[in-house]
Amino acid sequence: MAGNREFVLRRVHSLLGVIPIGLFLVQHLVVNHFATGGPESFNKAADFMGNLPFRLVLETVIIYLPILFHAIYGLYIAFTAKNNTSKYGYFRNWMFMLQRVSGIITLIFIAWHVWETRVAAAFGTHVDFNMMNEILSSPFMFTFYVIGTISTVFHFANGLWSFFVSWGITVSPRSQKISTYFTIGVFVALSIVLVRTLLAFV
Protein backbone atom coordinates (compact mmCIF):
# COMPACT_ATOMS: atom_id res chain seq x y z
CA MET A 1 0.00 0.00 0.00
CA ALA A 2 2.80 2.40 0.94
CA GLY A 3 4.59 1.51 -2.28
CA ASN A 4 1.51 2.40 -4.35
CA ARG A 5 1.14 5.72 -2.52
CA GLU A 6 4.78 6.62 -3.19
CA PHE A 7 4.37 5.64 -6.85
CA VAL A 8 1.37 7.99 -7.18
CA LEU A 9 3.13 10.82 -5.32
CA ARG A 10 6.19 10.54 -7.56
CA ARG A 11 4.00 10.60 -10.67
CA VAL A 12 2.15 13.69 -9.41
CA HIS A 13 5.46 15.30 -8.45
CA SER A 14 6.79 14.63 -11.96
CA LEU A 15 3.62 15.90 -13.66
CA LEU A 16 3.50 19.14 -11.67
CA GLY A 17 7.15 19.77 -12.52
CA VAL A 18 6.16 19.98 -16.19
CA ILE A 19 2.51 21.07 -16.00
CA PRO A 20 1.99 23.70 -14.73
CA ILE A 21 5.40 24.65 -13.22
CA GLY A 22 7.48 24.00 -16.33
CA LEU A 23 5.03 25.83 -18.57
CA PHE A 24 5.02 28.77 -16.17
CA LEU A 25 8.83 28.82 -16.21
CA VAL A 26 8.90 29.04 -20.01
CA GLN A 27 6.22 31.74 -19.99
CA HIS A 28 8.10 33.67 -17.30
CA LEU A 29 11.33 33.52 -19.31
CA VAL A 30 9.54 34.72 -22.45
CA VAL A 31 7.96 37.68 -20.65
CA ASN A 32 11.28 38.63 -19.01
CA HIS A 33 13.03 38.37 -22.39
CA PHE A 34 11.10 41.49 -23.43
CA ALA A 35 13.81 43.28 -21.43
CA THR A 36 16.08 42.86 -24.46
CA GLY A 37 13.79 45.35 -26.19
CA GLY A 38 14.40 47.97 -23.52
CA PRO A 39 12.65 49.20 -20.35
CA GLU A 40 9.40 50.17 -22.07
CA SER A 41 9.10 46.78 -23.76
CA PHE A 42 9.62 44.89 -20.49
CA ASN A 43 7.37 47.14 -18.43
CA LYS A 44 4.54 46.75 -20.93
CA ALA A 45 4.80 42.93 -20.84
CA ALA A 46 5.12 42.87 -17.03
CA ASP A 47 2.12 45.18 -16.59
CA PHE A 48 0.04 42.96 -18.87
CA MET A 49 0.83 39.89 -16.77
CA GLY A 50 0.33 41.81 -13.54
CA ASN A 51 -3.13 43.00 -14.55
CA LEU A 52 -4.58 39.66 -15.62
CA PRO A 53 -8.10 38.99 -14.26
CA PHE A 54 -8.12 36.84 -11.09
CA ARG A 55 -4.30 37.03 -11.04
CA LEU A 56 -3.99 36.11 -7.34
CA VAL A 57 -6.24 33.07 -7.75
CA LEU A 58 -4.39 31.96 -10.88
CA GLU A 59 -1.00 32.40 -9.21
CA THR A 60 -2.09 30.45 -6.13
CA VAL A 61 -3.66 27.52 -7.99
CA ILE A 62 -1.32 27.30 -10.98
CA ILE A 63 1.98 28.41 -9.44
CA TYR A 64 2.29 28.58 -5.64
CA LEU A 65 0.46 25.40 -4.57
CA PRO A 66 2.07 23.18 -7.26
CA ILE A 67 5.52 24.61 -6.44
CA LEU A 68 4.92 24.06 -2.72
CA PHE A 69 4.04 20.38 -3.22
CA HIS A 70 6.83 19.87 -5.76
CA ALA A 71 9.37 21.48 -3.41
CA ILE A 72 8.34 19.60 -0.26
CA TYR A 73 8.19 16.20 -1.94
CA GLY A 74 11.31 17.04 -3.94
CA LEU A 75 13.23 17.65 -0.70
CA TYR A 76 12.04 14.29 0.57
CA ILE A 77 13.33 12.62 -2.60
CA ALA A 78 16.61 14.56 -2.46
CA PHE A 79 17.42 13.54 1.11
CA THR A 80 16.28 9.92 0.81
CA ALA A 81 17.72 9.15 -2.64
CA LYS A 82 20.74 6.87 -2.86
CA ASN A 83 23.24 8.53 -5.20
CA ASN A 84 25.77 6.06 -6.61
CA THR A 85 27.93 8.28 -8.82
CA SER A 86 31.13 7.32 -7.01
CA LYS A 87 30.45 3.64 -7.64
CA TYR A 88 29.19 3.73 -11.23
CA GLY A 89 29.76 7.17 -12.71
CA TYR A 90 27.28 6.65 -15.53
CA PHE A 91 25.90 9.75 -17.24
CA ARG A 92 22.38 9.17 -15.97
CA ASN A 93 23.58 8.61 -12.42
CA TRP A 94 25.28 12.00 -12.54
CA MET A 95 22.13 13.55 -13.93
CA PHE A 96 20.20 11.92 -11.07
CA MET A 97 22.51 13.51 -8.50
CA LEU A 98 22.58 16.91 -10.27
CA GLN A 99 18.79 16.90 -10.40
CA ARG A 100 18.68 16.74 -6.60
CA VAL A 101 21.41 19.38 -6.14
CA SER A 102 19.86 21.74 -8.70
CA GLY A 103 16.48 21.27 -7.02
CA ILE A 104 17.82 22.57 -3.71
CA ILE A 105 19.58 25.51 -5.39
CA THR A 106 16.41 26.28 -7.37
CA LEU A 107 14.27 26.24 -4.22
CA ILE A 108 16.59 28.73 -2.49
CA PHE A 109 16.65 30.95 -5.57
CA ILE A 110 12.87 30.92 -6.10
CA ALA A 111 12.22 31.71 -2.43
CA TRP A 112 14.54 34.72 -2.62
CA HIS A 113 13.23 35.86 -6.00
CA VAL A 114 9.62 35.73 -4.78
CA TRP A 115 10.62 37.67 -1.67
CA GLU A 116 12.37 40.35 -3.74
CA THR A 117 9.57 40.72 -6.28
CA ARG A 118 6.12 39.35 -5.42
CA VAL A 119 6.31 40.02 -1.66
CA ALA A 120 7.80 43.46 -2.30
CA ALA A 121 4.99 44.15 -4.79
CA ALA A 122 2.42 43.22 -2.14
CA PHE A 123 3.84 46.01 0.02
CA GLY A 124 3.58 48.56 -2.76
CA THR A 125 6.87 48.24 -4.63
CA HIS A 126 6.41 48.42 -8.39
CA VAL A 127 7.96 45.48 -10.22
CA ASP A 128 9.48 47.01 -13.34
CA PHE A 129 12.69 47.24 -15.35
CA ASN A 130 14.28 49.70 -12.90
CA MET A 131 13.65 47.32 -10.00
CA MET A 132 15.44 44.46 -11.74
CA ASN A 133 18.22 46.79 -12.88
CA GLU A 134 18.78 47.85 -9.28
CA ILE A 135 18.83 44.24 -8.04
CA LEU A 136 21.18 43.01 -10.74
CA SER A 137 23.53 46.01 -10.54
CA SER A 138 25.20 44.23 -7.63
CA PRO A 139 27.85 41.78 -8.95
CA PHE A 140 26.96 39.38 -6.13
CA MET A 141 23.25 39.41 -6.97
CA PHE A 142 23.95 39.13 -10.69
CA THR A 143 26.07 36.03 -10.04
CA PHE A 144 23.38 34.66 -7.71
CA TYR A 145 20.73 35.16 -10.39
CA VAL A 146 22.88 33.52 -13.08
CA ILE A 147 23.49 30.46 -10.88
CA GLY A 148 19.88 30.35 -9.71
CA THR A 149 18.29 30.68 -13.14
CA ILE A 150 20.70 28.24 -14.84
CA SER A 151 20.00 25.77 -12.04
CA THR A 152 16.25 26.24 -12.48
CA VAL A 153 16.40 25.67 -16.23
CA PHE A 154 18.61 22.60 -15.78
CA HIS A 155 16.23 21.19 -13.18
CA PHE A 156 13.32 21.64 -15.57
CA ALA A 157 15.08 20.23 -18.65
CA ASN A 158 16.52 17.21 -16.84
CA GLY A 159 13.21 16.69 -15.05
CA LEU A 160 11.54 16.66 -18.45
CA TRP A 161 13.65 13.61 -19.34
CA SER A 162 12.49 11.85 -16.15
CA PHE A 163 8.90 12.86 -16.87
CA PHE A 164 9.01 11.16 -20.28
CA VAL A 165 10.29 7.97 -18.66
CA SER A 166 7.94 8.04 -15.66
CA TRP A 167 4.87 8.48 -17.84
CA GLY A 168 5.86 5.77 -20.34
CA ILE A 169 6.53 8.17 -23.21
CA THR A 170 10.14 7.04 -23.68
CA VAL A 171 10.46 3.34 -22.93
CA SER A 172 13.12 2.03 -25.29
CA PRO A 173 16.85 2.89 -24.93
CA ARG A 174 16.74 4.61 -28.34
CA SER A 175 13.82 6.84 -27.39
CA GLN A 176 15.55 7.74 -24.12
CA LYS A 177 18.72 8.64 -26.02
CA ILE A 178 16.73 10.90 -28.35
CA SER A 179 15.04 12.40 -25.31
CA THR A 180 18.46 13.13 -23.80
CA TYR A 181 19.47 15.15 -26.86
CA PHE A 182 16.09 16.91 -26.88
CA THR A 183 16.26 17.93 -23.22
CA ILE A 184 19.86 19.11 -23.62
CA GLY A 185 18.59 21.29 -26.47
CA VAL A 186 15.83 22.65 -24.22
CA PHE A 187 18.40 23.46 -21.55
CA VAL A 188 20.72 25.26 -23.98
CA ALA A 189 17.90 27.23 -25.66
CA LEU A 190 16.34 28.41 -22.38
CA SER A 191 19.77 29.21 -20.94
CA ILE A 192 20.50 31.50 -23.89
CA VAL A 193 17.16 33.24 -23.36
CA LEU A 194 17.74 33.82 -19.65
CA VAL A 195 21.37 34.98 -20.01
CA ARG A 196 20.33 37.47 -22.71
CA THR A 197 17.59 38.67 -20.35
CA LEU A 198 19.88 39.12 -17.35
CA LEU A 199 22.41 41.01 -19.46
CA ALA A 200 19.63 43.24 -20.80
CA PHE A 201 18.71 44.32 -17.27
CA VAL A 202 22.24 45.58 -16.61
**Tens digits of per-residue pLDDT, 66-109?**
999 999 999 998 888 776 555 555 888 889 899 999 999 999 99
CB hemisphere CA count around 134 (13 angstroms): 9
Could you tell me the residue range of the domain that residue 36 belongs to?
Answer: 2-201
**Phi-psi label, residue 144: left if phi above 0, alpha if psi -120 to 50, beta otherwise:** alpha
Which range among 55-59, 89-93, 129-133, 187-191 shows the weakest confidence by mean pLDDT? 89-93
Name the band, by pLDDT with cuts 50, 70 and 90, for residue 2. low
pLDDT at 202 over 70: yes
Report the domain count for the chain. 1
Give the global pTM.
0.92
**How far is Cα 44 from Cα 184, in angstroms, rounded to an integer?**
32
CATH number, domain containing residue 54: 1.20.1300.10
